[in-house]
Each structure stands twice: as C-alpha cells, then as structure tokens.
C-alpha cells in the first residue's frame, strides 16, 4: 500500500477522534526518514494546541491503530502542532487564513520567480491570488503549477531578527511540548554567563539578560561600590559611580553593558544547546507521565533487538524491556515482530523512563479478553479471576448479572473466534473459560473443567474442598503434573483434594470398619 493511500486511510480514522476533542486535524504524513517510518499527525486549534491536547490525541489514536492495525510495518507515531509556519492544504485553510502572509512554490516561474510571497487573497478551483508588498495582485494557477503545499508565513510579512525567532520558538515549544519558556530563558542566561567567561575573559561578577519581548541579549558587568578599589573588575569607586548616577551609595551594585559585537554567534550556539537539553528532559518527562498512567495496561510494540536475553521493544516514543523472567517459555522473538505486552512497572531514571513489560502476567490475559470481548468492555460480563501458567494453560472465571447473557459463550465467541484470537496472540496457550459462582461448591466444580465432577464437599473453616470425580476422569481433573488442579486452586482460592469415585468408596468403607 502506498504512503499516500495510508495517509488517506489514517486521516479518515483519526478525524473523528480529533473533532470530538474540539480540535482541527490539519494533516497526516506517513514517510520514511533515516531508515525508520514515521506517522505524523498534525492538530491545531485557536490559540494553538498544548502538550495535554497532543498527549490526549496520541493515547486514543495509538489505541485505535493497535485495534484496527492499518499499517503492516513498524513505525513511530508523533502527534504535534503544525508549527508557526503551518502548511495550508484545503480550501477551508485558505478561507481561515485569508489576509495572512503565505509562501507559494511553483513549478514554472511567474514574473521570473518560483517562490512567491504575499498576502493570501481571493481563490477558487483554478487560481490563487496573492497581494504583494508592492500593492500588486499576483494570480497563480493552482492545477499542475503549485509544486508544494502552501506555507503560512509570519504575521506582517517582514523578516524578523533571529532574537525574535528565539522568543517565538520558545513560545511554540511551550504550547507544543509544555515547556515553560521562562525556565528555558533563565537556563540560557545562566549558560551564557559561563560562555562569556570562557570566551571573553573571567568577569567573576556579571549578568546576562534576555529581553522577554524582543529576545535581545545583553551582557552586564556588575561592580560593587567601595571607598578604595582593590580589584577593578569587581569594584568601582564611589566618586566614579556618582558621576554615572548621583544617587549611588556604598555597597550598591553598578551594572555596565559589556556585550561583545560577535556575541550573537556564541549566544545562538549556547541557546541551541540549552533548548535541546531542556527539550530532551521535557520529552522524557512527557513519556514517563504518559506511561506511568498506563501501568497495568496493554501496549503493542515492535521487537527492536535482543541483548543478554532481554528483549527491547519499540513503543514508538520510547523503548521498553521485556526481561527473561517475563517472557513466555518456548516463545521466540524476531526483530520487527509486533507483540502485545503488559506494563508492569514504569521507573524514572537519569537516562529517561524505564518501562518494564511482561508476557507472563495474568493481567495480560485479562486485558486481551477486555479488548476482544465487547461484553467485557461494556461491563455486561465481568472477569472475576485469572489463574495462569504462561505458555501452557490458563483459567479465567467470568460472570454476568444479566441472566440472558452467557458469560462463557460471550468470551468464546461465534465458532470460537474470540478466544482463538487470544490463543493465537499467546502462541497456542490453552485457555479454560469457566462460569463464576458465589456458591463455592458450584465454582470449584466449574473450575476443574474440562473434567466432570460428581460431588464437592467444602470445609468453610479450613477453606478446603474434597472433590470426587469419575475414575476415568481422575487424570483429566488433576492434569499433567497436577496443572489442572493447581490452576483450579489458584482460580478459586481453595485447597482442593481430588479423589476418584472408587477411592472415595474405599475410604468410606474403611471408615465404617
């Protein structure tokens, strides 16, 4: 399937989720970069989207894609704002941003240019009009001439200084990633102090200030007013200070601007390093917060690599670990294979969140049934308990308050399709679905399925049950290496002693004698 076809399919799937949250779905991109496939979903709203908007859409879209699985290969899912220079694609976009500055790239030159800027004016199916700064109207044929989507320019159409771009980029980061721009600016100022001392000499007392409105960066030396100066770099005489301002007193601080002419290059490099570092930290926190709330949930990932018996699973935004003790016995994992996992723990480390997965946890079986059986998802059928020996056999007890609904049949599904899908996901693990009952006699009898039970005698004080089965059913009731009896005991929480009918009669006769 082509990338454009996938984009169209995903757009139709995602649009209802985005619109339900009162957001606008701007675009869907599916492309390959650096050997990896990326599915990028761009959303927007008046005033711009924030981190919570992106995270909310990401969680729901991820769950929907896991269920419908429209893309066969592994990919990274990203949900974000279209940015300051968003792309305009549809007529509704042109209508919304009419009067704003745009940039249009064309295949053939118009007035000698293939890149045309101007204020977006009238448009129809055939032509698009731009009003240039020279008060000219430029008509651009839309069909077979516009080489790329139309980019929204900056307000006013005038090129801004780089310092304005810094403030704009930080504000965008605050909206998109939830990073407080003031915290970043303070971190940049502190980093610039170190950069200045390193490159222009060691003023031991100095300050860097970034104007919050314009982004202009200035460096100030700070000297203390004293009677007698012993260090010209750190001190200034009272008489000299009062020539600048007669209000100065001893002990006051005098600030003098010492911004070097070529400080902009160093400032840009330093700002970039700080922003990248803070962005990494924010993304780590965002991933941690997203997955910390999903402990005990199921997640689909792609096997990335296997090292020292640990399986590293790509979850899109981060990597998780499936440890050797949490892997199903006999299960072999291949690179690129998509597997469902149960999140057992999320830890915060210096290298980012560490997510621990499991394929053996009973919760995985429970979550798989919740995904596969609509009656469980809507609460009609309830899972009371799960007992599992991963890779071999499991038992699940189900119950329905609605007498017209068969809880076992709902889980099995038409022709066994529902339970078979779960068995396939667990690589052939056998699953017994039994009906739960508040009566321990009935529940214990059901739990030994598929064996038939003649009688159950219970001791409530000791929570022990003596179960009698037909002679030919004894081995089935106990199971291979006691597995069936063991799982039944785990499922019910009772100690179960299983006897054949002939053994029970023999015991009774001995007791009579």
The pLDDT, as a whole number, for residue 373 is 93
Of residues 262 and 294, which shows the higher confidence score? 294
Q: Which residue has the tokens 């990597």?
A: 319
Is residue 80 within 8 A of residue 40, CB to CB? The reply is yes
Is residue 313 within 8 A of residue 334, CB to CB? The reply is no
For residues 199 and 259, membership in a common domain is answered with yes
433 in any annotated domain: no
C-alpha to C-alpha distances, 133 to 15, 120, 127, 433, nearest whole angstrom? 37, 12, 20, 74
CATH code of the domain containing 74: 3.30.300.70
Q: Say yes or no to pLDDT of 349 above 90.
A: no
For residues 64 and 138, membership in a common domain is answered with no
Q: Helix or strand or coil: residue 131?
A: strand
392 in any annotated domain: no
Nearest to 264 by CA among 165, 168, 154: 165
The pLDDT, as a whole number, for residue 147 is 45
For residues 106 and 46, membership in a common domain is answered with no
Share of the chain above pLDDT 90, in %: 33
DSSP-derived pairing of the beta strands 495-500 and 464-469: parallel
The pLDDT, as a whole number, for residue 313 is 93
Q: Does residue 450 have a cis bond before it (omega within 30 degrees)?
A: yes
* Phi, psi (deg, nearest 5) at residue 508: -65, -40
247 in any annotated domain: yes
**494: containing domain:** 440-513
DSSP-derived pairing of the beta strands 206-210 and 217-226: antiparallel
The pLDDT, as a whole number, for residue 164 is 56
Q: How far apart are CA 427 and CA 417, in angstroms?
A: 15
Q: Helix or strand or coil: residue 371?
A: helix
282 in any annotated domain: no
Determine the Cα angle at 128 with ends 125 and 129, to 5°. Answer: 145
Q: Residue 491, class by beta-carbon neighbours within 10 Å (0-12 exposed, 13-18 middle, 19+ buried)?
A: buried
403 in any annotated domain: no
Two structure tokens written together for 349:
């480390």
Q: For 218-226, what is the mean pLDDT?
A: 86
Total domains in the fold of the chain: 5
Q: For 53-73, what is the mean pLDDT?
A: 83
Of residues 212 and 443, which shows the higher confidence score? 443
Close Cβ partners of 504 (under 8 Å, ≥ 6 residues apart): 468
CATH code of the domain containing 350: 2.40.50.140
Highest mean pLDDT among 32-36, 45-49, 203-207, 374-378 belongs to 374-378
511 in any annotated domain: yes
Determine the Cα angle at 290 with ends 287 and 294, to 5°. Answer: 130
Is residue 477 within 8 A of residue 498, CB to CB? The reply is yes
* pTM of the predicted model as reported, rounded to 2 decimal places: 0.51
- Torsion-angle region of residue 298: left (phi > 0), alpha (psi -120 to 50) or beta? beta
**Complete DSSP assignment for 81-127:** ---TTPEE-SHHHHHHTTTSEEEEEEEEEETTEEEEEEEEEEE-SSE
For residues 262 and 186, membership in a common domain is answered with yes
pLDDT-derived band at 393 (thresholds 50, 70, 90) equals very high
CA–chain centroid gap for 405, Å, is 37
Q: Say yes or no to pLDDT of 155 above 50.
A: no
Determine the straight-line distance between the first and last CA of the chain, rounded to whole angstroms: 80
Q: Which residue has the tokens 């609904």?
A: 405
**Complete DSSP assignment for 159-201:** PPPHHHHHHHHHHHHHHHH---HHHHHHHHHHHHHHHHHHHH-
The pLDDT, as a whole number, for residue 1 is 64
Q: How far apart are CA 162 and CA 269, in angstroms?
A: 12
On the CB side of 408, CA atoms within 13 Å amount to: 12
The pLDDT, as a whole number, for residue 154 is 42
CATH code of the domain containing 485: 3.30.300.20
Is residue 31 within 8 A of residue 76, CB to CB? The reply is no
224 in any annotated domain: yes
Tell me: the pLDDT tens digits for 98-116? 777 777 777 677 777 777 7
């Amino acid at each position: 399937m082509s990338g454009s076809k996938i984009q169209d399919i995903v757009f139709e799937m995602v649009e209802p989720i985005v619109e339900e949250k009162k957001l606008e779905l701007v675009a869907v991109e599916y492309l390959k970069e650096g050997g990896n496939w990326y599915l990028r979903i761009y959303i927007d709203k008046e005033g711009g989207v924030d981190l919570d908007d992106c995270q909310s859409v990401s969680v729901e879209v991820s769950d929907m894609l896991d269920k419908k699985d429209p893309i066969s290969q592994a990919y990274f899912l990203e949900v974000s704002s279209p940015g300051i220079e968003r792309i305009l694609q549809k007529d509704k976009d042109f209508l919304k941003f009419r009067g704003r500055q745009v940039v249009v790239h064309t295949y053939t030159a118009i007035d000698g240019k293939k890149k045309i800027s101007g204020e977006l004016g009238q448009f129809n199916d055939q032509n698009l009009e731009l009003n240039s700064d020279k008060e000219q109207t430029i008509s651009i044929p839309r069909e077979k001439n516009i080489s790329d989507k139309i980019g929204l320019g900056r307000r006013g159409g005038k090129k801004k200084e780089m310092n304005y771009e810094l403030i704009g980029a930080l504000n965008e980061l605050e909206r998109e990633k939830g990073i407080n721009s003031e915290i970043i600016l303070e971190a940049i100022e502190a980093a610039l102090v170190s950069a200045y001392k390193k490159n222009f000499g060691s003023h031991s007392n100095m300050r860097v200030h970034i104007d919050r409105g314009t982004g202009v960066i200035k460096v100030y030396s700070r000297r203390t007013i004293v009677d007698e100066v012993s260090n010209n770099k750190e001190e200034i005489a009272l008489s000299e200070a009062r020539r600048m301002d007669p209000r100065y007193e001893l002990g006051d601080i005098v600030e003098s601007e010492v911004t070097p002419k070529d400080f902009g290059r160093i400032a840009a490099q330093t700002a970039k390093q700080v922003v990248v570092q803070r962005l990494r930290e924010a993304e780590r926190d965002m991933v941690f917060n997203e997955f910390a709330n999903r402990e005990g949930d199921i997640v689909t990932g792609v096997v990335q690599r296997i090292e020292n018996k640990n399986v590293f699973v790509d979850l899109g935004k981060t990597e998780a670990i499936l440890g050797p003790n949490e892997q199903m016995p006999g299960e072999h994992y291949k690179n690129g294979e998509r597997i469902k996992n149960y999140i057992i723990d999320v830890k915060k480390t210096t290298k980012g969140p560490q997510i621990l997965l499991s394929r053996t946890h009973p919760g995985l079986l429970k979550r798989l049934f919740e995904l596969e059986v609509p009656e469980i998802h809507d609460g009609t059928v309830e899972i009371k308990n799960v007992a599992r020996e991963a890779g071999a056999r499991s038992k699940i007890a189900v119950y329905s308050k609605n007498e017209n609904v068969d809880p076992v049949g709902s889980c099995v599904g038409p022709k066994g399709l529902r339970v078979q899908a779960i068995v396939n996901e667990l690589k052939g693990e056998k699953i017994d679905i039994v009906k739960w009952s508040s009566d321990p006699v009935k529940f214990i009898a059901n739990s030994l399925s598929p064996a038939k039970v003649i009688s159950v005698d219970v001791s409530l004080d000791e929570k022990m049950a003596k179960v009698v089965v037909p002679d030919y059913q004894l081995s089935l009731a106990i199971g291979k290496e006691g597995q069936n009896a063991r799982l039944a005991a785990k499922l019910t929480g009772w100690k179960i002693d299983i006897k054949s009918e002939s053994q029970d009669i023999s015991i009774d006769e001995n007791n009579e004698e």
